[in-house]
């Protein structure tokens, strides 16, 4: 029996379950000093002066770094699209541009001392006019985030494909709506953390960091710190979730490393949750003005969107390309021949927008699925029926989208029909009238998704970074006992990629799953890899491991051939043993071959000793995973509270290497989608203060907000050797639209027009009970 | 500084610390029990949950002197003699953890709850863990694991 | 985030606590700590000295009769939430206790602390006012009884004198009680809540009524007009609607990110009607 496809326990669980995980904050080294940051309480201000005297005199303080001179001695941070990006250093000495920007770094003997001393730093600010809100930022008289640029506008992309003007001219109906996708926070349960350990004698620097891509960090550090990569070691130990927010090299993290080099002492910093809400990247934050052209029968002829992306004050690694991804996925699973999409991107006095689970594509899916819902309602058509009419059908596959993405296989209409069936679409619709008479407002909503994933072939358009690999790696090393270690370039932090890699390698090597260990997240031992993000673990990292395993088997056949005095081409390996094809000679076990490969006791020097292989795999294309979701909700019209009665997700991620892990990935994505639909929001007040800087106001869904999830899987193997598709981001895509569509359905008698999320109770109540107009 | 004696995982531990020290930092930094985590500043996330005198509490919201003379069980004390607690087994079987950062807190909240409510329904289970946040699992597998322990099917 | 340093004193008994707390304005009491410790971590509270009253003997115990429930100030909100006796005789208190924060916070948070903190979003102040309870306070000048209407002065301020601490709560019992709270999610502190406790005669007539709110600008204001609307009636639908409307109209509310004044007022009305219906059904059941 193979390991692939089995619900095998995860490799990491034995440690994590007994509290033996090692996250950055759990790690300590001798002579370490602790960092604490002083951050801007204002969204936009000039720094007139910084008084660090009290902090310097505080108990345990080793150093305080602040001010223009210090900041200018620090290296520039790496950012996306460096030529467009305002240059930025780890501390700002002259001006702050968002709440949470680091102004000073205090180093002390204990974390408590550092924190207490940081509170003693006094910064004199001259407030400047604040620019918030993307459309306001584009106005001619808007205050400028970066005056030297002369404008807050970052750029404009306008894609016109097919014949949108003709489509709109020929349309029987044109539906226009506004859709805003709010700003959200990744909120991994582990805040960020960095421990930098210099070795002054050799110039070496070792960095433990809660990150998703240690090799990328190492290469950037080499560039900006002028240290050879051979002297840099970046380790991602256990990492408590990232969801895209730990892909970056942040200003505070670099400040910690720089401080360690200045002092010649280890420096450790653990982010607080309060900091995480302001100083770790945000996501989404787009406003679309959409028009949909429809034929009388509901066929979609064309789609226009003029949208704006609020990117915040600075670029991080992927900031400017996140909304670009929205453009390229805005037609989703639907056959929409003509599109006219215009995107404007702007700077505002807020934290940067960045990649977050489903980035760009979640916004696109939401806008499209909300637009179809609104269109169907406006022309008096059942929204499910309109979707089925417009979905790309299996007969149309392979299908090239207007944006030149090729969908290879799958059955989107069947999945949507199945989701509708599982939720009881018709029964819910049929019971609505009676329930409404009793004051009970229930509704059903559906949405589909097609996740562009498996990032991705090197050099593709969505990679704006000089140093960010598209490939993935694996080194498989078999020891003389036949036990095997996979050194994977992935950097999983909860996804379970290590476990699924072990499963597929176990099958390829025909050895027990338990005989395989998977190591990752350490640039000292791992071949150069891309890390974990963009639903790429199985799709990219899995194939690197598969190819490496195939190479190991080929090598093992060479060894077995030598032992069996046969040509390696004549050696067959099956059932975990090697024999000569057609021969009745006794077979060789894996372990015998592994031992011989190292000690050459029986076969002489007929092969290069050792049993290991490395593979670097650059995927030939991106990958797609797809599905349909359905939500059944009830709205308390007196309070605006939405309860999810049931949620159905029908997903196709191709071959599920470990169904338990796949389900968990989907569940987590769905929960983030529920949060986006109903609860989560990074809120700023009119001065740019983040008023949602705690879990008490940001509102992650808890176990009582989440419904029981009904899952069903379709399996359409992808064209890749493993047949896998991505899955990590899938749940985030269609979930918000399905829920909002269900809310709109429940409130049909009120005719509410939902233009923004989250549908917190007060927001929804105001829609149900609009203020009487004069 | 104040002198504190607290029984942690069955062993009496004497520590001298500032009275402003939080129990979670006493556990993590003085006793090197780093399985208990800090995930927020406002007593919301529950990553720091331990069992104190039989009740699940947030160790970030207990001053070290408040724990003086009390008995605290952390995630490191859940397994006995190397044998995992049925909850730990169930968490593994049901994929109830992903990144693992919140896991200790969920385990301890679940342990104290199931010790006093051995046959809960799903709604009670969800309420029992409503003081713990998880960003990875959507809670489904955690609820599954707890119900499996309650039903003795793990 | 970590609390700044402070001096710590463990109170051995009530007298010790009283004299320790009377030492100055920057001395703060800690019982369960579930409100104070987050404030210490965020540096919102900066006491020079913290007096731990959590181990003072004699401040625990739940004693329930048909007439009243007596709670030691150090009884945890979890204990109130779990008590079958309280559920029978004071369902308002059971319901209020069960929506405080989360189950883990309730395991340490105390009833005395929940009142003394006087947070307008706390739940037990409204329960105390609605049930017309009183607290025993002990201070430098001895023991006194403070009626619920006299306890809460303004947000985070009570009528407790320096050195005075709540030792005991005495809450008149009634099966006709209910608590309704709107939280946006489990981690939310709450938007608004309504506490209701009625005394209903054998004929279904409402002999006395208590209605109070959480989440308003004041701490646990009594809705006098709502109470007057109820008393002397048998609590029919019109009465309930009228009382709920009165509670909503009289509520002093502020707009914030939880909602507009208009929204909060509507929710107060809706929750008041629900709480009243449940309380009346209980009284007549």
Any domain includes B106: yes
Same domain, B146 and B90: yes
Quick: pLDDT tens for A369-423: 999 999 999 999 999 999 999 999 999 999 999 999 999 999 999 999 999 999 9
* B103 contacts A16? CB cut-off 8 A: yes
Among C2, C42, C103, the residue with its CB nearest the CB of B131 is C103
Instruction: Tell me the H-state helices in A106-201.
Output: 111-118, 134-138, 164-170
Establish how many alpha carbons lie within 13 A of residue A291's alpha carbon, considering only the half-sphere containing its beta carbon.
Answer: 18
Task: Please report residues of B whose CB lies closer than 8 A to that of C4.
Answer: 20
Same domain, B91 and B111: yes
Query: What is the nearest CA distance from A493 to chain C, expressed in angstroms?
Result: 24
According to the 3-state scheme, what is the secondary structure of A196-265? EEEECCCCEEEEEECCCCHHHHHHHHHHHHCCCHHHEEEECCCCCCCCCCCCCCCHHHHHHHHHHHHHCC
Helix (H) or strand (E) holding A475: strand A472-478
Domain of residue B95: give its range: 86-151
Same domain, B63 and B6: yes
Query: What is the nearest CA distance from C256 to chain B, expressed in angstroms?
Result: 20
Listed in order, the ranges of chain C carrying CATH 3.30.390.50 are 176-284
* A701 contacts C4? CB cut-off 8 A: no
Quick: pLDDT tens for C105-163: 999 999 999 999 999 999 999 999 999 999 999 999 999 999 999 999 999 999 999 99
Q: A765 and chain C: CB distance < 8 Å anywhere?
A: yes
- CATH number of the CATH domain containing B72: 3.10.20.30
* Interface subset of B 99-128, CB within 8 angstroms of A: 99-104, 107, 122, 125-127
Q: B42 and chain C: CB distance < 8 Å anywhere?
A: yes
Same domain, B59 and B125: no
Any domain includes B81: no
Q: B63 and chain A: CB distance < 8 Å anywhere?
A: no
- Are the C-beta atoms of A130 and A44 separated by less than 8 Å? yes
Q: B117 and chain C: CB distance < 8 Å anywhere?
A: no
DSSP class of residue C46 equals -
Q: Which ranges of chain A have pLDDT less than 70? A: 1, 774
Task: Please report residues of C whose CB lies closer than 8 A to that of A679.
Answer: 184-185
Task: Please report residues of C whose CB lies closer than 8 A to that of B130.
Answer: 102-103, 186
Nearest CA to A715 among A756, A655, A629? A655
* A119 contacts C4? CB cut-off 8 A: yes
* B20 contacts C105? CB cut-off 8 A: no
Q: Which residue of C has its CA nearest to B42?
A: C38
Q: C262 and chain A: CB distance < 8 Å anywhere?
A: yes
State the sign of the Cα–Cα–Cα–Cα dihedral B105, B108, B110, B113. Answer: negative
List the domains of chain A with CATH numbers.
13-128+190-240+246-279 (3.90.1170.50), 359-456+621-768 (3.30.365.10), 472-617 (3.30.365.10)
Last residue of a domain, one of B76, B95, B121: B76
Same domain, B57 and B100: no
- Are the C-beta atoms of A40 and A120 separated by less than 8 Å? no
Q: B65 and chain C: CB distance < 8 Å anywhere?
A: yes
Last residue of a domain, one of B46, B76, B106: B76
Query: What is the nearest CA distance from C282 to chain A, expressed in angstroms?
Result: 22
* Interface subset of A 85-124, CB within 8 angstroms of C: 111-112, 115-116, 119
Q: Which residue of C has its CA nearest to B133?
A: C187
CATH node for C7-52: 3.30.43.10
Structure tokens that stand for C167 in this block: 């030792």
- Cβ-based contacts under 8 A for chains A and B: 183
C176-284 placed in CATH 3.30.390.50: yes
Any domain includes B26: yes
State residue A460's pLDDT score.
Answer: 78
Q: A169 and chain C: CB distance < 8 Å anywhere?
A: no
Query: What is the nearest CA distance from A500 to chain B, expressed in angstroms?
Result: 13
Nearest CA to A402 among A309, A305, A322, A310? A305
Task: Please report residues of B whose CB lies closer than 8 A to that of C103.
Answer: 56, 109, 113, 127-128, 130-131
- CATH number of the CATH domain containing B126: 1.10.150.120
Q: C102 and chain B: CB distance < 8 Å anywhere?
A: yes
Which residues does residue C110 pair with via DSSP β-bridges, in sequence order? C76
Task: Please report residues of B whose CB lies closer than 8 A to that of C30.
Answer: 63, 66
> CATH assignment of C62-172, given 3.30.465.10, 3.40.640.10, 1.10.10.60, 3.40.50.10300?
3.30.465.10
Same domain, B126 and B92: yes
State residue A458's pLDDT score.
Answer: 86
Same domain, B130 and B111: yes
* A274 contacts C1? CB cut-off 8 A: yes
Which of C258, C263, C264, C277 to mutate against chain A (most A CBs within 10 Å)?
C263
Query: What is the nearest CA distance from A667 to chain B, expressed in angstroms?
Result: 5
Task: Please report residues of A whose CB lies closer than 8 A to that of C119.
Answer: none
* A187 contacts B101? CB cut-off 8 A: no
Which residues does residue A161 pair with via DSSP β-bridges, in sequence order? A339
Same domain, B95 and B118: yes
Nearest CA to C31 among B15, B57, B62, B68? B62
Omega cis (within 30) before A385: no
Mean pLDDT of chain C: 97
CB-count exposure of residue A20 (10 Å: 0-12, 13-18, 19+): middle
Among C40, C42, C104, the residue with its CB nearest the CB of B49 is C104
Same domain, B11 and B45: yes
State residue A1's pLDDT score.
Answer: 60
* B41 contacts C42? CB cut-off 8 A: yes
What percent of the residues of chain B are helix, what percent strand, and what percent coil, each to the nearest 5? Answer: 40, 20, 45
Listed in order, the ranges of chain C carrying CATH 3.30.465.10 are 62-172
Query: What is the nearest CA distance from C62 to chain A, expressed in angstroms?
Result: 30
* C270 contacts A638? CB cut-off 8 A: yes
- Cβ-based contacts under 8 A for chains A and C: 67
* B139 contacts A703? CB cut-off 8 A: yes
Among C6, C38, C50, the residue with its CB nearest the CB of B42 is C38
* A274 contacts B37? CB cut-off 8 A: no
Each as own residue / partner, the long-range contacts of residues A157-161 (CB below 8 Å, 24 or more positions apart, any chain) are A157/A324, A157/A327, A157/A341, A157/A342, A157/A343, A158/A340, A158/A341, A158/A342, A158/A343, A159/A327, A159/A339, A159/A340, A159/A341, A159/A342, A159/A403, A160/A339, A160/A340, A161/A338, A161/A339, A161/A340, A161/A402, A161/A403
For residue B149, CA distances in Å to A16, B119, B123 come to 19, 9, 15
Q: Cα separation of A534 and A453, whole Å?
A: 6
pLDDT mean over B58-62:
98
List subunits contacting chain C, requiring 3 or more Cβ pairs under 8 Å.
A, B
Are β-strands A45-51 and A122-127 bridged in parallel, bridged antiparallel, or unpaired? antiparallel
Last residue of a domain, one of B54, B76, B98: B76
| pLDDT tens for each residue of chain C, 285 residues long | 999 999 999 999 999 999 999 988 899 999 999 999 999 999 999 999 999 999 999 999 999 998 999 999 999 999 999 999 999 999 999 999 999 999 999 999 999 999 999 999 999 999 999 999 999 999 999 999 999 999 999 999 999 999 999 999 999 999 999 999 999 999 999 999 999 999 999 999 999 999 999 999 999 999 999 999 999 999 999 999 999 999 999 999 999 999 999 999 999 999 999 999 999 999 887
Q: Cα separation of A369 and A371, whole Å?
A: 5
Q: Which residue of B has its CA nearest to C76?
A: B55
Same domain, B49 and B92: no
Q: Which residue of B has its CA nearest to A27?
A: B34
- Cβ-based contacts under 8 A for chains B and C: 88
Task: Please report residues of C whose CB lies closer than 8 A to that of A114.
Answer: none
Listed in order, the ranges of chain C carrying CATH 3.30.43.10 are 7-52
Quick: pLDDT tens for B88-112: 999 999 999 999 999 999 999 999 9
Same domain, B97 and B134: yes
């Amino acid at each position: 029996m193979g390991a692939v496809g089995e619900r095998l326990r995860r490799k990491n669980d034995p440690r994590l379950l007994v509290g033996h995980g090692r996250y950055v904050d759990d790690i300590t080294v001798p002579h370490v000093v602790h960092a604490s940051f002083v951050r801007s309480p204002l969204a936009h201000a000039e720094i007139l002066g910084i008084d660090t005297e009290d902090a310097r005199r505080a108990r345990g303080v080793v150093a305080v770094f602040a001010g223009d001179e210090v900041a200018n001695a620090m290296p520039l941070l790496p950012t996306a699209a460096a030529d467009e990006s305002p240059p930025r250093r780890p501390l700002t000495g002259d001006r702050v541009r968002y709440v949470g920007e680091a102004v000073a770094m205090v180093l002390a003997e204990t974390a408590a001392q550092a924190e207490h001393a940081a509170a003693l730093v006094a910064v004199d600010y001259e407030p400047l006019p604040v620019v918030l809100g993307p459309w306001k930022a584009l106005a001619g008289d808007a205050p400028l985030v970066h005056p030297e640029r002369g404008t807050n506008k970052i750029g404009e992309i306008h894609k016109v494909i097919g014949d949108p003007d003709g489509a709109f001219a020929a349309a029987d109906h044109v539906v226009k709506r506004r859709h805003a996708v709010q700003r959200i926070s990744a909120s991994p349960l582990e805040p960020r953390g960095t421990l930098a350990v210099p070795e002054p004698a050799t110039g070496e620097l070792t960095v433990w960091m809660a990150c998703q891509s240690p090799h990328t960090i190492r290469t950037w550090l080499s560039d900006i710190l002028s240290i050879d990569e051979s002297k840099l070691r970046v380790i991602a130990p256990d990492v408590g979730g990232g969801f895209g927010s730990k892909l970056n090299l942040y200003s505070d993290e670099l400040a910690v490393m720089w401080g360690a080099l200045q002092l010649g002492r280890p420096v450790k910093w653990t982010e607080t949750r309060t900091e995480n809400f302001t100083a770790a990247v945000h996501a989404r934050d787009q406003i679309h003005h959409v028009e949909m052209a429809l034929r009388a029968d509901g066929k979609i002829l064309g789609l226009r969107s003029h949208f704006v992306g609020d990117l915040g004050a600075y670029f991080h690694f992927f900031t400017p390309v996140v909304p670009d991804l929205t453009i390229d996925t805005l037609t989703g699973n639907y056959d929409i021949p003509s599109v006219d999409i215009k995107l404007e991107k702007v700077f505002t006095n807020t934290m940067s927008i960045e990649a977050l689970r489903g980035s760009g594509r979640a916004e696109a899916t939401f806008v499209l699925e909300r637009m179809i819902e609104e269109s169907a309602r406006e022309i008096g058509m059942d929204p499910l029926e309109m979707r089925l009419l417009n979905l790309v059908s299996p007969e149309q596959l392979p299908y090239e989208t207007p944006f030149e993405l090729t969908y290879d296989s799958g059955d989107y209409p069947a999945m949507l029909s199945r989701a509708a069936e599982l939720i009881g679409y018709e029964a819910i619709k049929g019971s609505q009238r009676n329930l409404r008479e009793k004051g009970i407002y229930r509704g059903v909503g559906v949405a589909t998704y097609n996740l562009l994933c498996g990032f991705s072939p090197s050099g593709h358009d969505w990679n704006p970074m000089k140093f960010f690999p598209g490939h993935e790696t694996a080194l498989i090393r078999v020891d003389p006992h036949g036990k095997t270690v996979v050194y994977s370039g992935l950097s999983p932090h909860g996804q379970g990629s290590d476990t699924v890699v072990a499963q597929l390698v176990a099958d390829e090597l025909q050895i027990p799953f338990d005989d395989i260990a998977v190591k990752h997240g350490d640039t000292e031992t791992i071949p150069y890899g891309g890390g974990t993000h963009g639903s790429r673990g199985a799709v990219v990292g899995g194939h690197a491991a598969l190819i490496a395993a195939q190479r190991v088997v080929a090598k093992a056949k060479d060894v077995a051939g030598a032992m069996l005095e046969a040509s390696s081409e004549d050696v067959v390996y099956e059932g975990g043993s090697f024999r000569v094809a057609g021969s009745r000679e006794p077979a060789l076990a894996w372990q015998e071959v592994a031992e011989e490969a190292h000690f050459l006791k029986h076969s002489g020097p007929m092969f290069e000793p050792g049993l290991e292989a490395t593979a670097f795999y650059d995927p030939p294309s991106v990958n797609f995973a797809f599905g349909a979701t359905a939500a059944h909700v009830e709205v308390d019209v007196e309070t605006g509270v939405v309860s999810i009665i049931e949620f159905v997700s029908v997903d196709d991620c191709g071959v599920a290497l470990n169904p338990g892990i796949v389900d968990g990935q989907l569940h987590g994505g769905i929960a983030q989608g529920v949060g986006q639909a109903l609860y989560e929001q990074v809120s700023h007040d009119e001065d740019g203060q983040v008023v949602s800087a705690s879990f008490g106001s940001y509102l992650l869904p808890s176990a009582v907000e989440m419904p029981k999830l009904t899952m069903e899987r379709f399996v359409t193997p992808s064209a890749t050797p493993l047949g896998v598709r991505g899955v990590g981001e899938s749940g985030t895509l269609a979930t918000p639209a399905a829920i909002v569509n269900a809310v709109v359905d429940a409130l049909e008698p009120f005719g509410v027009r939902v233009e923004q999320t989250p549908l917190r109770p007060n927001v929804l109540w105001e829609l149900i009970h609009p203020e009487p107009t004069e | 500084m104040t002198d504190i004696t607290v029984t942690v995982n069955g062993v009496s531990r004497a520590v001298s610390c500032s009275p402003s020290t939080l129990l979670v930092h006493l556990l993590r930094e003085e006793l090197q029990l780093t399985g208990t985590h800090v995930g927020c500043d406002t007593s919301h996330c529950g990553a720091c949950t331990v069992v104190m005198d039989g009740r699940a509490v947030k160790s970030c919201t207990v001053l070290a002197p408040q724990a003086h003379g009390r008995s605290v069980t952390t995630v490191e004390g859940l397994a006995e003699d190397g044998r995992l607690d049925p909850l730990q087994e169930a968490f593994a079987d049901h994929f109830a953890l992903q990144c693992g950062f919140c896991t200790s807190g969920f385990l301890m909240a679940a342990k104290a709850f199931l010790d006093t409510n051995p046959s809960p329904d799903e709604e009670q289970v969800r309420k029992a863990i409503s003081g713990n946040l998880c960003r990875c699992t959507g809670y489904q597998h955690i609820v599954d694991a707890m119900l499996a322990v309650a039903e003795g099917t793990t | 985030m970590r609390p700044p340093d402070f001096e710590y004193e463990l109170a051995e008994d009530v007298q010790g606590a009283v004299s320790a707390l009377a030492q100055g304005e920057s001395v703060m009491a800690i019982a369960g700590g579930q409100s104070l410790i987050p404030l210490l971590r965020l540096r919102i509270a900066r006491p020079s000295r913290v007096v731990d009253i959590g181990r003072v003997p004699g401040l625990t115990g739940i004693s329930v009769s048909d007439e009243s429930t007596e709670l030691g100030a150090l009884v945890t909100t979890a204990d109130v939430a779990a008590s079958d006796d309280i559920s029978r005789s004071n369902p308002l208190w059971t319901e209020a206790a069960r929506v405080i924060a989360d189950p883990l916070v309730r395991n340490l948070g105390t009833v005395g602390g929940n009142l003394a903190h006087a947070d307008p979003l706390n739940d037990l102040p409204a329960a105390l006012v609605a049930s017309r309870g009183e607290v025993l306070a002990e201070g430098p000048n001895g023991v006194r009884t403070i009626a619920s209407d006299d306890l809460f002065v303004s947000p985070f301020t009570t009528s407790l004198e320096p050195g005075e601490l709540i030792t005991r709560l005495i809450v008149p019992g009634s099966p006709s009680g209910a608590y309704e709270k709107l939280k946006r999610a489990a981690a939310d502190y709450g938007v608004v809540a309504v506490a209701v406790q009625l005394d209903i005669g054998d004929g279904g007539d409402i002999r006395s009524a208590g209605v109070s709110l959480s989440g308003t600008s004041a701490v646990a204001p009594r809705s006098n007009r709502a109470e007057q609307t109820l008393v002397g009636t048998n609590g029919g639908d019109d009465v309930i609607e009228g009382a709920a409307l009165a509670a909503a109209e009289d509520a002093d509310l502020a707009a914030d990110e939880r909602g507009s004044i208009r929204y909060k007022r509507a929710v107060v009305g809706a929750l008041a009607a629900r709480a009243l219906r449940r309380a009346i059904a209980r009284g007549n059941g």
